[in-house]
Copies of this chain bind each other. A is one copy, B any other.
Amino acid sequence: MAQDGHPTFGIGMVGYSFMGAAHSQGWRTAPRFFDLPLAPQMRVLAGRNAAAVTTAAHKLGWDDVETDWRRLVARDDVDLVDICTPGDTHAEIAIAALEAGKHVLCEKPLANTVAEAELMVAAAEAAAERGVLSTVGFTYRRVPAVQLARRLVVDGRIGTIRHVRAQYLQDWIADEDVPLSWRLDKSKAGSGALGDIGAHIIDLAQFVTGESITGVSGILETFVDERPVATGFSGLSGTAGTEKGPVTVDDAAVFLARLSGGGLGVFEATRFAYGRKNAIRLEINGSRGSVAFDFEDMNVLHFFDASDDPQVAGFRRIVVTEPQHAYIASWWPAGHGLGYEHAFTHQVVDLVRDVAAGTQPTPSFADGLAVQRILQAVERSAASDSDWQQI
């Protein structure tokens, strides 16, 4: 029992870079604004480098550390394992955790391959029968404006969906002199723009529409196939700028899609759209209206209601900060917008409530696998002259 009378809920997290910081903020903040049925305890952080993980644990607010994730998984005081490592390690950790009876929150992408993802789904389904739950971290679902878009679709305000227009535009490697990093190495990252950011818009499109992508035709492109080797902190900086190494992932991915309800999808993910920093854009046109979202203005949803009197019809710029909107009643007054990491707090809130209730959290590992299959189909299409790939 925690101080507030709710049962404690021990968390162990593996990995502590960008996603680790975001997840930590979620665990730390959720109970401060939301009423949770369990009291999360940030018990242990795992990482291979003892000094680094100790520093991170202190910084991020974890009570203890492990240098082997297997020990973390084995701890009695850990009820949930939060996986924030690169994609190539997800399957092994997640399966071990589930088999050890730990609930699992796994960062996206679920895995680097469909095969791994399938094993994870099998493990998740087996675990679920024992009451052990799992979810994958497509956090953008939990932005209030995205929740509102989903709500409007569910309520029939958009009607039959005819178009999905989804873009994820960044520009952080548009400059050819940006050096190599593990994200540009296929052996580690698995994929480039497609898997890293394309995965998000695939999940968002399926989540908001409530439909599945049934086929794709796509192109992958690597605009800059060689980049300077980063020289880091090793004293070798004398060679900086001269040595180059290969980029082995895609810089950009574009694909057409069919949706299960008959609509058309157009998707684009790129790290080469100068001036667009984190522009996650989703527009859906249906038989009764439209919604449009851009993460660069994340507290706003645009909604066109075709039943409005034509004289005063127009996209409504809804500032999604009213108490009626998802999650907002626990935060601030209207107009006091949220930021990027709030979605990680919402992820914790939803997950803790599901665990307490014993209900399957969403998105499930199966949802993560569905995204993975679409990524694979895009890769196959791209490799075969944009041939159509049924999913």
Contacts and interface: CB of A to CB of B under 8 A. Distances in A.
Given A256-B255, A338-B339, A314 B163 contact: no
Interface string A219-246: 1010100000000000000000000000
A291 to B, nearest CB: 9
Interface string A324-348: 1100000011111111111000000
Q: Which of A31, A162, A312, A386 has the most CB of B within 10 A?
A: A312
A207 interface: no
A129 interface: no
A386 B324 contact: no
Given A287-B176, A332-B341, A386-B388, A313 B163 contact: no
Contacts of A128: none
Interface string A267-286: 01010111111110001011
Contacts of A332: 18, 22, 340-341
Contacts of A305: 312
A191 interface: no
Contacts of A4: 58-59
A217 to B, nearest CB: 4
A175 interface: yes
A195 B268 CA distance: 24
A28 B24 contact: no
Interface residues of A, number: 103
A318 B325 contact: no
Contacts of A96: none
State the number of copies, please: 4
Interface stretch (A65-73, A84-92, A165-173): A165-173
A186 interface: no
A180 interface: no
Contacts of A303: 312, 314
Q: Which of A279, A305, A308, A335 has the most CB of B within 10 A?
A: A335
A272 B163 contact: yes
Interface in A253-307: 254-256, 258, 262, 264, 266, 268, 270, 272-279, 283, 285-290, 295-306
Q: Which of A170, A305, A306, A317 has the most CB of B within 10 A?
A: A317
Contacts of A342: 339
Interface in A16-37: 18, 21-22, 24-25, 28-29, 31-33
Nearest to A160: B223
A321 interface: yes
Contact of A298 (B316, B337, B387): B337
A162 B278 contact: no
Contact of A162 (B272, B276, B314): B272
Contacts of A272: 162-163, 285
Given A162-B272, A163-B252, A254-B256, 19 more contacts: A3-B58, A4-B59, A29-B29, A169-B285, A174-B306, A217-B219, A272-B285, A273-B283, A273-B290, A275-B315, A277-B334, A278-B333, A279-B335, A296-B337, A313-B318, A336-B339, A386-B387, A386-B388, A387-B388
